[in-house]
Amino acid sequence: MTPIDSGKNTLTFKRITSQIKSKSNYFSYSVLGSIILFFKQLVYSQYLGVVEFGFYSIFLLTFAYGSYSMGLGFNQGLLRFLPEARLQEKERYVNVIRNNVITASLIIGVIEAIIFIPATFLFVEDSRLSFVLIYAIIYTIINMQINLYTIDFIGKCQFSLYSKLHFFRAFFLFFGGGVFLALGYGLFTMLLLEILISLTTLYLIKRFYIVKARYQFDNINVVFGIMKKGIGFWGVDVVKGLLSSLDKIVIVSFFPMVIIGSYSFSMIIFTISVVASGILSTLLKPLFINKLSKTGSKIEIFHSTLTISLIILIIGAIIGGILLNVFEWAILNYYPEYKIGASYLLPIIISCIFFIANIYESALLAFDAGRSFFKLNFQICMVYIFIVAISITQNAEIFFYLYLFTFVQLLLLIMNFLLTRKIAYKDVKIKVL
């Protein structure tokens, strides 16, 4: 019997689909939440107009990179630590570590805000942009707290609770933001509402869902220990963030706000892929970690990952072709202000498919291969930055950045597949096909 078919512990695609069925509430709420977030973007773009929607896209971009700068491996470290600690029945220790890590994250966020906010007024000429950036950093600090607390749900495999919280949060953001915009309130009222809803979500999580949640900072060694566990994958997240948004950074920096707004509108589609990837990651990471701790079979996990990735590529190609035609028609008929964005759709949809299919991080996290994963993605990122830098000097058109982005997503998919296969078969003396 080969390692791949080792009896009842085999992690086949059939077993993964059974896991999915057993978490039907998680998937239902996650899908509904994704749909709501998609329509939220459409509603916001309709009421804000192309210029203010451009400002909103800068808000989201700042939020994304603020999250990376404050992360420092805390999310990934807790995700690896919590299942292990609970298997050893160290629940009290879990509470202490979680509280210290979350407090450390808050301190880092406040320090960054103290530096960032004055710098914004000093170096940004457009006052509207200054306030957008300030709102973004506040929003980031709050959401980092939410993310760290909800990791506790993932660690306990409470996927349904995790998805319900994010669903209702998305619903209130969509409903509240839509109402305020329809009543004639502008961008900044809507951003303030998003901050208030996030604060409310944080309060509810601490008050009703997390046992012994409090701010404490009495063990710096614990904080550094969690950072050490997750720092490699934090570095990967920073690099991944750059790989997935370098095009946006360039466009925000060198193109007019009308182009920024139109491009951001077309990239709403890409948010679907980000959410879908997040759903898969939330399911697969703890599943693979727990499975590896029980069986020790990396090959089994690799084959499951490959199977899922191939299925995503096939289904994605079919759905992508349909969506291309639907979205082109919708933009030209219902969003004429963003009609430039219709021509951006093809490379964006192809990029979405490659991005969702690239699920190999989940397996590599289980393999504790953060350093190798980071090294590979960093190398690709450096090449990407070099090409973009040259392109800027040559005044490249926006389509160049679009198709370059697509190529990078394909390259990441191929190289992460090869790395996962290499690590899975490293200690097995059989021929790899």
Residue range 299-322, pLDDT digits in tens: 888 888 999 999 999 999 999 999
In a domain, 301, yes or no: yes
pTM across the whole model? 0.77
In a domain, 44, yes or no: yes
In this structure, of 276-285, 339-348, 380-389, the range with the lowest mean pLDDT score is: 276-285
- Cβ neighbours for 5, distance < 8 A, ≥ 6 positions apart: none
Q: How many domains does the chain have?
A: 1
In a domain, 288, yes or no: yes
- Cβ neighbours for 18, distance < 8 A, ≥ 6 positions apart: none
Q: Among candidates 327, 332, 339, 187, which has minimal Cα distance to 270?
A: 327
Q: Among candidates 350, 343, 342, which has minimal Cα distance to 406?
A: 350
Average pLDDT, the chain: 83
In a domain, 199, yes or no: yes
SS3 of 201-239: the string is: HHHHHHHHHCCCCCCCCCCHHHHHHHHHHHHHHHHHHHH
Query: What average pLDDT does the segment 84-111 reach?
Result: 79
In a domain, 432, yes or no: no
Q: At what angle do helices 13-22 and 298-334 cross, to 10 degrees?
A: 60
Place of tokens 């939020």: 63
pLDDT band of residue 15 (cuts 50, 70, 90) is low
Amino acid at 168: F
Integer Cα distance of 370 and 420 in angstroms: 11
Range of the domain at 29: 3-424
In a domain, 146, yes or no: yes
Q: Among candidates 138, 258, 114, which has minimal Cα distance to 192?
A: 138
Residue-wise pLDDT for 204-223, tens only, equals: 888 777 766 778 888 788 88
